[in-house]
Chain A
Amino acid sequence: MSAPTPRIPQTITRYRRQVLGLFAVVILTLLIAASDALLPAYVTSTDTLQPPSARHWLGTNDIGQSVLTGLLRATPVTVGLALLTAALALLIGLTMAGLAVVFPKKGRAVVLHLTDMAEIVPSILLLLLVAAWHQPGAAEIILLMAVLTWHDDVRILRSVLLREIGRENIRLARHMGASWPYLLLHHILPAILPTLTGVYLQNVVQAVMRVAGLAFLGLTAGDLLTWGSMLQDATGYLHTPAWQWLLLPPALCLTGFLLVLTTLDQRQQRHARLRQGANP
């Protein structure tokens, strides 16, 4: 190791957690993309509504599909939909917040008005309206949900951006001739990363709940297999013993995933608070 190690940008070492998180997201995306080929086929059979057995570990549903296979196949779809929806909502929110900060007069008024309006739109009515004419598929769900939820992120992102831009380090660096792209990458982005992560996690929680709700109502495209649509299939069997293997697995998966997300979110918040307390 005689050669000088390449200098890792300070941001990466300092924000190891966030970088690791990014890696996890990339790996997850690859897994989601490859899952269709890796998992067994989700085929119908004549063994309908079988209880769990050695052959079908979690039993079968009303058209003889294995619940376990369905659960495994629904996992990447459910998780992927939530992650992408949350990312798109964050992107729209960040763009809006950025516009409000860059154009403090006109932009701010327009963005805040739009945010106010988006906040009061009863989103369920809009979803019902759209679903009545056309049951949305994956891409449409992501777009719809992002358009309906970005407003949650704008205010907090705007206040964080304003705070960071007003700091001395930015003014000093500006004075020294730093360009805005440089400032964005080296000063502003690292400073707002914790907030971004927190907002993103909350977006994911919201997206999971909303997409599952829509699928539970049976208002998503028929071929889109998610935990929510599996729950929808189970509703007809509450009066039979089949609820034990039709209802419980997707319900537990959904709850477990949400629990992981909220725990991550709480830890992230505590972390951010500690950091703020350490260097006020």
Chain B
Amino acid sequence: MRPKAGIGISRGKAAALLRGLLQRLAVFVFLLVLMSVLPRLLPGDALDVLMDSDVQRDLQESERSALRDQLGLGGTLIEQVGRDLMRLLRGDFGYSHLHGAPVSRLLADALPWTALLIALATPIFLGVGVIFGIEAGRRPGARLDRIITTAMSLLASVPPFVTAMALLLCFAILWPILPTGGAEPLFPAEAPWPHAREIARHALLPACALALHEVVRYFFVVRGEAAGLSRRAFVINARSRGISGWRERRDYYGRNLLPVICARLSQSVATLFTASLFVEVIFSYPGVGSLTYQAVLDRDYALLQGAIAVLAALVLSLNWIFDALTDILAHRG
């Protein structure tokens, strides 16, 4: 039976989406299990590792076993892992002794900043990547194409954290027009508008660094696709009818590029989170990336586990949503 064309998705597509969801669930559970198994598989006693950095003292055997129970290290490996999993799935992430706050609160405080950076960066990299990609791809091999493509290839060879450091150096240290770090000044303004302006000023450089990292990928994807479109009959036909300028770029290229861009977005979710980690570390921005990084450096395992669980859930569900969107868009043909 042929699936009905039209609105909605066919049965095959739905099955594929369901499979994607199950795969993501499996990956998520795998990460959670790894997170709780890994420390217990390493040579030595997890208790020693944990105590080593905090309290240096001899413990009585009875105190050790009491601590073990308190830290959830008692019982067999499977029991411990099961307990960990149930706890995390209930949404109980524990308490960060280093920050003196519950992990869930720390994460809730940090996530909006990361979301702000990504929200600011997305229009920049989408806009620049798509516009330059269409300009270069609609006349492949022309001079403009060669110039833009060479520049983008150069940009692609610079590791993203180097570009971020270069931005910091240029616009915050050598020519100090923007702040070097943080998300707001030490004493934020009272009035809402100056406050918003301060936040925007602090977010500008990190957002640009984040966007530069993604621009290159979108440029190459869009350029390749646009070059393919420029040879298609309907575009050649439109051009010969004198359609050009804005209308050609928007209606003939832009609209047909939508599924490709959407497909790319689903992969971007993970790379954006990765890139935001680097950017937040470099600009000491108080987002979830630098929080996680600090947890690694401080060996704050409760915070690290909570952050990884939340980030993994976010990344996996977001890229599944974009996958679903891509399928629905691609259905248009």
Using CB atoms and an 8 Å cutoff, list the residues of chain A in contact with chain B. 113, 116-117, 120-126, 128-134, 208-209, 212-213, 216-219, 231, 235, 238-239, 243, 247, 251, 254-255, 258-259, 261-262, 266
Chain B 303-332, CB within 8 Å of chain A: the 1/0 string? 010001001100110010000000000000
- CB pair B278–A217 under 8 Å, yes or no, is yes
Q: What A residues does B273 contact at CB under 8 A?
A: 122, 124
| A133: chain B residues within 8 A (beta carbon) | 38-39, 42, 49
A132 near B301 (CB under 8 angstroms)?
A: yes
| Bound form: Cα–Cα A280–B301 in Å | 58
CA distance A129 to B27 in the complex (A): 15
Interface residues of B (CB under 8 A from A): 20, 23-24, 26-27, 30-31, 34-35, 38-39, 42, 49, 153-154, 156-162, 165-166, 168-169, 173, 270, 273-274, 277-278, 281-282, 292-293, 295-297, 299, 301, 304, 308, 311-312, 315-316, 319
A266 CA to B168 CA in the complex, in Å? 31
Knowing A122-B311, A124-B274, A125-B308, the reply to whether A217 touches B293 (Cβ < 8 A) is yes
A98 to chain B, nearest CB (A): 23
- Whole-angstrom CA separation of A251 from B311 in the bound complex: 30
User: With A120-B24, A122-B312 given, is the CB distance from A262 to B161 under 8 Å?
Assistant: no
Shortest Cβ gap from A218 to chain B (Å):
8
CB distance from A92 to the nearest CB of B (A): 18
Kindly identify which residue among B39, B296, B299, B316 contacts A120, using a CB–CB cutoff of 8 Å: B316
| Chain A to chain B contacts (Cβ below 8 Å), 7 pairs | A120-B27, A120-B270, A122-B274, A125-B31, A129-B38, A216-B278, A255-B162
Closest residue of chain A to B271 (Cβ to Cβ) is: A124
Say yes or no: B34 contacts A213, CB within 8 Å. Answer: no
Closest to B301 in A: A132
- Assembled-state Cα–Cα distance A213/B293 (Å): 13
Q: How far is the CB of A189 from chain B (nearest CB, A)?
A: 29
Q: What is the bound-complex CA distance between A209 and B159, given in angstroms?
A: 6
Pair B156/A262 contact, Cβ less than 8 Å: yes
A114 to chain B: closest residue by CB: B23
Complex alpha-carbon distance, A120 and B274, angstroms: 13
Once the chains bind, are B173 and A239 in contact (CB under 8 Å)? Answer: yes
Residue of A nearest to B161 (CB): A216
Given contacts A131-B296, A239-B173, A255-B158, contact A125 B165 (CB under 8 A): no
**CB < 8 Å: which of B157, B173, B282, B304 contacts A258?**
B157
B299 and chain A: residue at smallest CB distance: A132
B159 touches A213 (CB 8 A): yes
Q: Residues of B contacting A213 with CB < 8 Å?
A: 159-161, 278
Q: Which 9 A-B pairs have the closest CB atoms?
A: A258-B157, A259-B157, A124-B274, A132-B296, A122-B315, A251-B162, A125-B308, A122-B270, A255-B158
Contact partner of B27 (CB less than 8 A), chosen from A121, A208, A219, A238, is A121
Chain B residues with Cβ below 8 Å from A259 are 154, 157
- Asked whether, in the complex, the Cβ of B162 is within 8 Å of the Cβ of A254, the reply is yes
Contact B277 A124 (CB under 8 A): yes
**CA A37 to CA B38, docked complex, whole Å:** 37
Contact, CB under 8 Å: A128 / B292? yes
Once the chains are docked, how many angstroms separate the CA of A231 from the CA of B292?
21
Least distance between A35 CB and chain B CB atoms (Å): 23
